[in-house]
Amino acid sequence: MPLIRGSLHQWGSQSQALYPKPSILLSPSGVVPLGGAVTVQCWGWHWHWHWYQNMRFLLYKDGNPNMLQDVEPRWDLADFLIRNVSWRDAGSYGCYYYSHWNPLIWSHPSDPVELVVLPAPGPSISVRPSGVIALGQVVTIRCQCRCGARRLFLYKGGMEIQELDAAGDGGEFTIPSARWEDGGAYSCRSHSRSEPPDWSYPSDTVWIIVAGERPSSASRGDVALGGAVTVQCRGRHQNVRFLLYKDGNPNALQNTEPAGNVAEFPIHSVSQRHAGSYSCYYYSHWNPPVWSHPSDPVELVVAGEGPAQLSRSWIQREKHPGDSPCRFLYRPHHWGRAVGTGRTDRAEVCVSRPVSSCLQSPNPTSPCAPAGEGSPWGES
């Protein structure tokens, strides 16, 4: 029966359409993701199914004159399976049938059905361990999907940083020793190995938050009423903005962006209301910004009357067995998901605290200790 393997044009030019048209549908749906599967089902309307045991069904796609598949029906139903759906499978399909007894007599065409192909669903993404990551910790980012023979891509802040061949249900990306700059927003996508590649939707975004180092601390400084004092804060990074806070006040007292990594906050004409505990933060200008932990506090003690200069100022280094938990700082109206928080606000990443803060008198004989050996700003 050579005409069965021919084109629709050849078939139609040498045959007669005498049988009623078959019905057709797409199962389970006419909307299929890339890499999925769909079945085109065709069946006839004769009152007795035995009649179709002598028929053969053919599947055609609009724009292609050549037959795609031909099958013998099971009872009165013919199934045409399309596996691993690609963009080229999208379009309009129809079917016909003809008789084994007389291959030149065939049916009218079915009504068309439309197959819509969508990008593959995005992989799911997860991070181990969840929550705040310690410096130097091993981090595993898992992207899971029905990947098959697809390739996975990992993105940080929208930029591709790694890729790998998916194995079965996904793949894992590893950060062997977390650094503070590894903090940020991660997502993944996949694509087929065919050309041109079929890209999936992106996954959801997860945030990796890397906790920083605890700084050395300053203890206390004394200043007389009416005097002047400067709170100095030093960070480990430049091009950041520093903010000064006083215990009991949620609002920043001062903020500054120094040329280097040392910020100075002067307090003139000191009064009793200036007494208390001070600390500072800094943050980067990235989007989203990266916030530090708070510095250890310094205590300002105000005593005596009349203008006077700072009587003493000192720095005391302390050893800390471990870091306190990272403090999450949120900015409203920025969307994302922070690992381990359950929040939908975008979480700001926590990094190292400012290295130190201290109180400095205008008296040149009692400044904050300079950086270097024996200094809280030097390396221990």
CA-CA distance, 2 to 196, in Å (whole number)? 35
State pTM to two decimals.
0.43
- What is residue 181's predicted lDDT score, i.e. its pLDDT? 80
Check: CB of residue 224 under 8 Å from CB of residue 303: yes
* Residue 214 backbone dihedrals phi, psi, to 5 degrees: -85, 135
User: Taking 90 as the threshold, does the pLDDT of residue 27 lie above it?
Assistant: yes
CA-CA distance, 94 to 169, in Å (whole number)? 34
Q: How confident is the model at residue 24 (pLDDT cuts 50, 70, 90)?
A: very high
Tell me which of 380 and 280 has the higher pLDDT.
Answer: 280
pLDDT tens per residue, range 55-94: 889 999 998 888 888 888 887 789 999 998 888 899 999 9
**3-state SS of the chain: helix, strand, coil percent to 5?**
5, 45, 45
Burial-class residue 276 by CB neighbours within 10 Å (0-12, 13-18, 19+). Answer: middle
CA 144 to chain centre: 13
Check: CB of residue 112 under 8 Å from CB of residue 60: no
Amino acid at 316: Q
Amino acid at 154: L
pLDDT tens per residue, range 333-342: 222 222 322 3
Structure tokens at 79: 């199934």
pLDDT tens per residue, range 217-238: 344 566 778 888 888 888 877 7
pLDDT tens per residue, range 168-212: 778 899 999 998 788 888 999 988 777 777 788 899 999 888 875
Amino acid at 252: A
What are the structural domains of the chain?
Answer: 2-118 (2.60.40.10), 124-210 (2.60.40.10), 218-360 (2.60.40.10)
| Inter-CA distances, 144 with 128, 150, 299, Å | 14, 12, 51
